[in-house]
Amino acid sequence: MPRKAPPNGSVLFPNPFAPGPATGDPLNPLGLPTARERVTPVARRPSAGARVTVRAYDIPGVPGPHEHMYVEYDDGNDQLIARAGPSSGAGVLLGKSRIDARVTPAAASADYARGGRVVGRGFVPGATAHEAAAPARALAAELEREPRRYVAWSRNSNSYAADVAEPIVRRRPGDALTPGAGTRLRAEPVIPPPLPPFGHPLDLLFR
């Protein structure tokens, strides 16, 4: 049957769901487009480099000038955040908390959308966000293997942020409002492993 011409001024678009020629496929005998064929993937842009931004914001409820620093990595495709904090909030007061550092997708970070003032900027040409954040991941893994004690005013999240950002921004980020930024974590003592448990003192005689 001949196809009717569209009305004057109309444009005839093909139906993307129209059946094609018979395929012999028992699951798709009419040759309908599959969901994969109907969706065009969005190409990722090649990265010209990663922008690195160090930010600091005031910590609510903490007396005195005390801001928390974190590091953003953005290559136009991916956004990551490197940040650290105490492994246990209650443990900080008892001196039993270690520095817990990690690099995550920005939206999964506790610092996501917190903003804050910029205390350092840098650029890693030709690198993706993941490549630029590789040293931050390496230091986080090292702190997991060889933990350092978290000390609120001197050895903390600001120490980690400054350590990972310094080679990129070409200076040590931080100021009087970010205590701990001057502390280099690799130079700090490692928390010794716990002593093995002992039973009754007389057991030592028979070891």
Confidence check: pLDDT of 186 > 90: yes
DSSP letters spanning 8-64: TT--PPP-TTS--S----TT-TT-PPPHHHHPPPPPPPPPSEEEEEEEEEE-TT--S
Q: How far apart are CA 109 and CA 88, in angstroms?
A: 17
- Spatial CB neighbours of 200, under 8 Å, sequence gap ≥ 6: none
More confident residue, 165 or 39: 165
What is the DSSP secondary structure assignment for residue 142, as one 8-state letter?
H
- pLDDT tens, 45-90? 777 999 999 999 998 887 777 999 999 999 999 999 999 999 976 5
Domain extent listing, the chain = 49-186
Cβ neighbours of residue 180 under 8 Å, at least 6 residues apart? Answer: 151, 153, 154, 155, 156, 157, 158, 159, 174
* Distance separating alpha carbons of residues 52 and 64, to the nearest angstrom: 28
Query: Which token pair is 36?
Result: 């994969």
Q: Is the dihedral of CA 133, 136, 142, 145 positive or negative?
A: negative
pLDDT 10s digits, 5-34: 555 555 555 555 555 555 566 667 666 666
Letter for the amino acid at 196?
Answer: P
User: Is residue 128 scored above 60 in pLDDT?
Assistant: yes
- Walk across the sheet containing 49-58 and list its strands: 99-105, 79-86, 67-74, 49-58, 117-125
